[in-house]
A and B are shown apart, each in its own frame.
Chain A
């Protein structure tokens, strides 16, 4: 009887440990097991400039959501963003890929529009702006000079 109690305690302890570990890895890995909360909208960029799954989505500097997937569609980057239900995006909003600092990581900024129409779940931000490519600008400047 006594022996059984100890075994039970160890078993329960181990089980709790495994559950905690699972929870932790899901949280740290930012995985979503029970389906994502909020809704998804998409945007197509000419160049995603190194944006990653899980990159921040920011409105007025406030992080509101995360990039869910990035896929290549017709040689353009199709980005699916996950936003909470209470963040509404107008139909004339513009999505921009920005860099934190000069060489920091990339994130998406949404500048809200003024339209009455909102983008429905599964909808699309039509106007996008790819990251400004400094190298490309510099090379343009250089070649422009030589000619």
Chain B
């Protein structure tokens, strides 16, 4: 399951890349587009294409993504009913581990970017929540539909879930964490997450 959706996840994670058609988009779309364009410009920067600066490139993509994602909300929603049982320190640790997990799983593929383009297909705002609909056109001419679920924090719209072809990232991790936590302990889950970030090289 996880693997099958890796590719579209990767694509989505890069908030992909490519110039959207300028339109009368609302605030959430505008902000998602800004982040996407910024990442695109980092990836297209010829100075950073040098393999020696790959790490620097990755870090700056990561910083850009950090500014648009609400990691605490993502972690909270993924841990769901187990979130409340954690102490503030554990929560803080978990957010970092979760962020690391996602970054390591998807960000490594940044180098694989091969000219995917993005079309912004509209948005749906309901008070402080919104969905930004995006279509990614891959080099193979396959279309992938991606929905960014965003919520308003002050003047910023931050991503709290991504759904690719209708499959939600949060729900995927929620059911995985759930089944781990039902069989073993929270400590075991943290151990697993730590192991995973050690084995998968950045």
- On whether the two chains bind one another, the answer is yes
* Bound form: Cα–Cα A16–B175 in Å: 51
Q: What's the nearest-Cβ distance from chain A to residue B21, in Å?
A: 22
Residues of chain A with a CB closer than 8 A to B166's CB: 46-47, 129-132
Contact with B along A110-147 (1 / 0, CB 8 A): 01111110000000001101111000010010011001
* Bound form: Cα–Cα A92–B167 in Å: 16
Q: Would you call B76 and A147 a contact (CB within 8 A)? A: no
Q: What's the nearest-Cβ distance from chain B to residue A88, in Å?
A: 11
Q: Would you call A127 and B81 a contact (CB within 8 A)? A: no
Q: Would you call A94 and B141 a contact (CB within 8 A)? A: no
Q: Would you call A147 and B170 a contact (CB within 8 A)? A: no
In the complex, which residue of chain A has the Cβ closest to the Cβ of B4?
A137
Q: Would you call B140 and A147 a contact (CB within 8 A)? A: yes
Contact of A114 among B81, B141, B161, B167 (CB under 8 A): B81
Q: How many of B's residues come within 8 Å of A, CB to CB?
A: 27
Q: Would you call A114 and B168 a contact (CB within 8 A)? A: no
Q: Would you call B149 and A114 a contact (CB within 8 A)? A: no
Indicate whether A114 sits within 8 Å of B84 (C-beta atoms), given known contacts A92-B77, A143-B141, A147-B141: yes
Q: Would you call B171 and A126 a contact (CB within 8 A)? A: no
Contact of A144 among B126, B140, B165, B174 (CB under 8 A): B140
Interface check A67, CB cutoff 8 A = no
Residues of chain B with a CB closer than 8 A to A43's CB: none
Q: Would you call B142 and A143 a contact (CB within 8 A)? A: yes
Interface check A96, CB cutoff 8 A = yes
Indicate whether A114 sits within 8 Å of B142 (C-beta atoms), given known contacts A94-B168, A94-B174, A137-B165: no
Q: Would you call B171 and A144 a contact (CB within 8 A)? A: no
* Bound form: Cα–Cα A52–B79 in Å: 31
In the complex, which residue of chain B has the Cβ closest to the Cβ of A45?
B166
Tell me the chain B residues, 126-168 only, with Cβ under 8 Å from chain A.
126, 129, 138, 140-143, 149, 161, 163, 165-168
Q: Would you call B168 and A127 a contact (CB within 8 A)? A: yes
Indicate whether A127 sits within 8 Å of B83 (C-beta atoms), given known contacts A114-B77, A132-B167: no
In the complex, which residue of chain B has the Cβ closest to the Cβ of A97?
B166
* Bound form: Cα–Cα A92–B84 in Å: 13
Indicate whether A127 sits within 8 Å of B167 (C-beta atoms), given known contacts A143-B141, A143-B142, A144-B142: no
Interface check B80, CB cutoff 8 A = yes
Q: Would you call A113 and B142 a contact (CB within 8 A)? A: no
* Bound form: Cα–Cα A143–B137 in Å: 13
Q: Would you call B126 and A114 a contact (CB within 8 A)? A: no
Q: Would you call B168 and A129 a contact (CB within 8 A)? A: yes
Q: Would you call A126 and B84 a contact (CB within 8 A)? A: no
5 A-B residue pairs with CB within 8 Å: A94-B170, A111-B175, A116-B84, A127-B161, A130-B166
